[in-house]
Chains A and B, each alone.
Chain A
């Protein structure tokens, strides 16, 4: 298994540009989520999905859109990038949304995004 994969690894955008961060998992996990991590801080939840066709907002959703058309993929879209969105973005997945206390989350390697 490749686990959780993210592309690209690095990206530089200009203010106002749009882009999509890709996330895929090959473990047939129901739950997927996106976090951002700013320097010296913990991870903050952006959006999450409990299955194909179902998404919901996390702690810091503004400026980001998501969709979940398949179990495997969970892309994160920045519609109009802003310097405040400069961060490292992590995608994560876990096996089941039920009895979540028992399940570990698997994280991708991250995408380092800079918005100028």
Chain B
């Protein structure tokens, strides 16, 4: 499976936008880009996913580069509850079973 690279940690001020980057230079044409986050002492939760076009939902936006070799998760107004580890992972459409691998992710701190 193609791998992703994320910064170890980032900081943001409360109520400001946050842009969390992810590099996936070996992405294949059938890989979907998924984002999960893990709040302290909880299991991971799904945030958003996309293939080529930018995506929006109630939690966040996903901006995907035209060459698909990178993507950015955008939190429009960071709150203290958004402090978490954010994981960017790739999931192959052609895989008939699920072997999702989570890397270390980006630890986001939100400053009041």
Contact in complex: B42, A59 (CB < 8 Å): no
Query: Chain B 32-58 against A: per-residue CB contact (8 Å), 1 yes, 0 no?
Result: 101010000111111001010000000
Q: For the side of the interface on B, what is the size category?
A: 20 to 34
Interface-lining segment among A12-20, A62-70, A71-79, A101-109: A101-109
Docked pose: A50 CA to B43 CA in angstroms: 21
Contact in complex: A101, B91 (CB < 8 Å): yes
CB-CB under 8 A from B34, the residues of chain A are 104
Docked pose: A25 CA to B8 CA in angstroms: 32
Q: Which residue of B lies closest to A103 (CB)?
A: B98
| A106 CB, nearest partner CB in chain B, Å | 8
CB-CB under 8 A from B45, the residues of chain A are 107
B17 within 8 A of A: no
B104 within 8 A of A: yes
| A42 CB, nearest partner CB in chain B, Å | 4
Contact in complex: A90, B44 (CB < 8 Å): yes
Contact in complex: A101, B42 (CB < 8 Å): no
Given contacts A41-B104, A101-B31, A104-B49, contact A31 B42 (CB under 8 A): no
Contact in complex: A31, B43 (CB < 8 Å): no
Q: For the side of the interface on A, what is the size category?
A: 20 to 34
| B111 CB, nearest partner CB in chain A, Å | 21
CB-CB under 8 A from A110, the residues of chain B are 41-43
Given contacts A105-B46, A108-B43, A109-B43, contact A42 B103 (CB under 8 A): yes
Given contacts A107-B44, A110-B42, contact A94 B98 (CB under 8 A): yes
Residues of A within 8 A of B (CB): 4, 31, 33, 35, 40-45, 48, 50, 56, 58-59, 90, 92, 94, 97-110
Q: Which 8 pairs show the lowest CB-CB distances between chains A and B?
A: A107-B43, A104-B46, A101-B32, A43-B102, A101-B93, A42-B102, A101-B91, A100-B98
